[in-house]
Every structure is written in C-alpha cells, then in structure tokens.
C-alpha cells in the first residue's frame, strides 16, 4: 500500500507513521517529491485496515496497490524515474546509447572501439568480460582482465561502463570496475543474484528473459528494488517465438506497456533481438519512436573476426550513420541524443 502524506506535513508526523508501520512488520520505501511524501509499505495487506492509518495526523489517504509489483508501479511513483550515472541521465528528455563489442577480446580491440563509439556520440561503453554461452566450448570472456580493460577505456574516454555479472560470487568484483551492472536474459530470474546486486549502490540493467512475460520481467526489477536498490533500468532484448529468420522477436509493444505500468526507464537491445546487423538500424529507429529511453548496440571494428556475435554487430561507420538517424528521430519526438 501507499500512504500519501498531506502537503506541508511535519516530519514528526511522518516518522510516527513510519514507526507504526515498521512495528507491524512492514518494509518502508520513501518517495519524497516537491510537494508530497509517499510511503510505500510492503507487507501483509490484510492488516492495513486494522492499522487505521488514515486517522493519524498528517495522513491524506491510503492507497492499495493491486499490481503484484509494488515499488516499480506507477501507483507508487507517478513521475518517471531518471537514473544518474556520473553526469549521464538515463530516462527523461535525453536518450542514451550504450555501444561496444559483445565481448572484450583484447585491450587493443576495446580501446579502439571505445574511442570510435564516443566519437560517434555514445556516452556508455558496453562490453562483456564474463560471457554466458550456450556451448561450453565457446569463448567465455576474459573475466577480471576484461574488467580492467573496461576500466582503462573509461579512464581514457570518459565513457561510463556497463557489463554483465553472472554469479553472486562475481558481484563485488564487477561492481568495483563497472558503473552499471547488467543482469542478462538467462539470469533474469536468478533471485539470489538479483538480491546480491541490490547490495551495491550501482544502477542495474535488467534484460528481459528469453521467454518471460512482461509481468515476470517487472517482478525481477521488483526483487532488486525490494532489496533496497531503486536504480533499475529495464531492457527489452527480444523474446523467443516460433520465428526462425531473426534470432529473437523484438517486442516493441513492451515499451509503451512497461511505460504505462512502471516509472522505470526502458532501453532496447536490437542487436540481440534481431541477430542480424541489417535489421539493427531499422529496429533501433523504431524503438526510439516507440518511446524507449535509449539503446544498447553491439559495435565491432571487424565483425567478421569477432569472437562473439559478429553477424549482429555494426561497424563503426554504420553505427555513426545510426546515430545521425537517431538525432533526427529524437528531435521529432521532443528528445535529444
């Protein structure tokens, strides 16, 4: 439930309400706006009536949240959440593009790509140091060595870094090097991992699972938020359907649906969704037109020699063309790249 406090309420009254809720077993999540203070109370909803909260001083009303996701819902927070990463804002009027190779292959490769994507307008560098692969014989990533290269690229270019964490034992290490922690599609419902990343004061990018419903996807974000970290970014990366021409089916309808249901920023991954570089640019354009807050794009200097996902990677020149197109589209919808 949400306890809406009156405009101009005294802090003493707010603390009395919080104290009563905590005493009765509720977890409290505060949202303090310019005029209103909202108290999100997560716990046994059957007890809310007997608490008689609306009779307490400073309480305007008590609203029951019907959706299974409480903290991520628009009922809990009506305005859009904007997440800060240094001087970068994810959400709001500025669109963010995360770009880089699927996998960090070498220091030289990563520094080359980082310089190129920054020149074209990206502000966040993507690159996998730990790679979850279907085959145990495929390239699994450079692990901590790759993380060090990502940190070096950030130092040289000023780009923020997003990279995947796959295991609870890796979270502290990855958080030491990365600015944004990515939960991959295969780990969307790895609940111990979701709880562990919440312990670190880092934004978390949650990719939609291969066959997950929108509600299941939002509930993964709810796990992180319920554990104390509200810096969650949702990422649509395509879902598994009967179609075989594309790697996955990019669910563009998920963007406005999630925007309606939640206050969280949403970015789109057209690279993994389509699996083909020819399809990345048109689907990236469509995602921005549909209301996405940004994109995550795979870029490689020589896709034919990439150790991972070469067929879906853009060359730097093609990435530059895409960025020019996005500037036109973003202007048409009142945003900017």
Q: How far is CA 168 from CA 27, 165, 187, 200, in A?
A: 24, 8, 11, 12
Averaged pLDDT for residues 129-151: 86
* C-alpha to C-alpha distance for 10 and 301, rounded to whole angstroms: 59
In the chain, CATH 3.20.20.70 sits at 83-332
Strand order in the sheet with 59-63: 27-32, 37-42, 2-5, 59-63
With contact defined as beta carbons under 8 Å apart, do 72 and 263 qualify? yes
Averaged pLDDT for residues 149-175: 97
pTM comes to 0.88
* C-alpha to C-alpha distance for 256 and 192, rounded to whole angstroms: 29
Give the model confidence (pLDDT) of 5-21 as tens digits: 999 999 999 999 999 99
pLDDT at 53: 92
Averaged pLDDT for residues 131-142: 79
pLDDT at 47: 67
Least-confidence region, from 72-76, 101-105, 285-289 = 72-76
CA dihedral (242, 243, 246, 250) positive or negative: negative
- Look at residue 258 and tell me whether its pLDDT is greater than 80: yes
Token code pair at residue 298: 């795979």
Averaged pLDDT for residues 278-285: 98
Structure-token match 């999630």, residue found: 258
- Look at residue 75 and tell me whether its pLDDT is greater than 70: yes
* C-alpha to C-alpha distance for 145 and 142, rounded to whole angstroms: 6
**What average pLDDT does the chain have?**
93
Calculate what percentage of the chain has a pLDDT beyond 90: 79
Give the model confidence (pLDDT) of 27-59 as tens digits: 898 888 778 898 988 877 666 667 889 999 999
Considering the four listed CATH numbers 3.40.50.280, 3.40.50.300, 3.20.20.70, 2.40.10.480, the one that applies to the domain covering 83-332 is 3.20.20.70
Token code pair at residue 118: 């920054």
Give the model confidence (pLDDT) of 172-216 as tens digits: 999 999 999 999 999 999 999 999 999 998 999 999 999 999 999
Structure-token match 């570089």, residue found: 277
* C-alpha to C-alpha distance for 336 and 328, rounded to whole angstroms: 9
Calculate what percentage of the chain has a pLDDT beyond 70: 98
pLDDT at 139: 77
* C-alpha to C-alpha distance for 198 and 225, rounded to whole angstroms: 7
Residues forming a β-bridge with 125: 99, 161
Strands (E) in the chain, as ranges, are 2-5, 27-32, 37-42, 59-63, 83-85, 88-90, 96-100, 124-126, 160-164, 180-183, 204-207, 232-236, 266-268, 294-298
Q: How many helices (H) and strands (E) does the chain have?
A: 11, 14
pLDDT at 48: 67
| Whether domain 2-63 has CATH 3.30.720.200 | no
With contact defined as beta carbons under 8 Å apart, do 183 and 205 qualify? yes
* C-alpha to C-alpha distance for 54 and 215, rounded to whole angstroms: 31
């Amino acid at each position: 439930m949400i306890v809406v406090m009156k405009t101009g309420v005294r802090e003493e009254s707010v603390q009395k309400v919080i104290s009563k809720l905590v005493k009765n077993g509720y977890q409290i999540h505060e949202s303090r706006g310019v005029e209103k203070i909202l108290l999100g109370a997560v716990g046994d909803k059957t007890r809310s009536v007997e608490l008689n909260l609306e009779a307490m001083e400073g309480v305007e009303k008590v609203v029951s949240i019907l959706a299974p996701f409480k903290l991520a819902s628009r009922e809990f927070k009506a305005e859009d959440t904007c997440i800060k990463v240094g001087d970068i804002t994810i959400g709001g009027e500025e669109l963010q593009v995360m770009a880089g190779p699927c996998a960090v292959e070498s220091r030289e490769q990563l520094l080359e790509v980082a310089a190129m994507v920054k020149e074209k307008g990206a502000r966040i560098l993507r690159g996998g140091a730990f790679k979850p692969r279907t085959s145990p014989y495929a390239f699994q990533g450079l692990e901590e060595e790759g993380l060090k290269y990502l940190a070096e690229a950030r130092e040289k270019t000023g780009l923020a870094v997003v990279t995947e964490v796959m295991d609870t034992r890796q979270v502290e290490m990855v958080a030491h090097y990365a600015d944004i922690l990515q939960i991959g599609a295969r780990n969307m419902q790895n609940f111990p991992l979701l709880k562990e990343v919440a312990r670190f004061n880092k934004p978390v990018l949650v990719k939609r699972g291969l066959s997950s419903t929108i509600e299941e996807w939002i509930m993964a974000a709810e796990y992180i938020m319920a554990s104390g970290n509200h810096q969650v970014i949702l990422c649509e990366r395509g879902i598994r359907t009967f179609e075989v021409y594309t790697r996955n089916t990019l669910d563009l309808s998920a963007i406005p649906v999630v925007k309606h249901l939640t206050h969280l920023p949403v970015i789109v991954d057209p690279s993994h969704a389509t699996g083909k570089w020819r399809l990345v640019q048109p689907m990236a354009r469509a995602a921005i037109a549909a209301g996405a807050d940004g994109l995550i794009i795979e870029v490689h200097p020589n896709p034919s020699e990439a150790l991972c996902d070469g067929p879906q990677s853009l060359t730097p020149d093609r990435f530059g063309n895409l960025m020019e197109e996005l500037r036109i589209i973003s202007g048409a919808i009142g945003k900017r790249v």
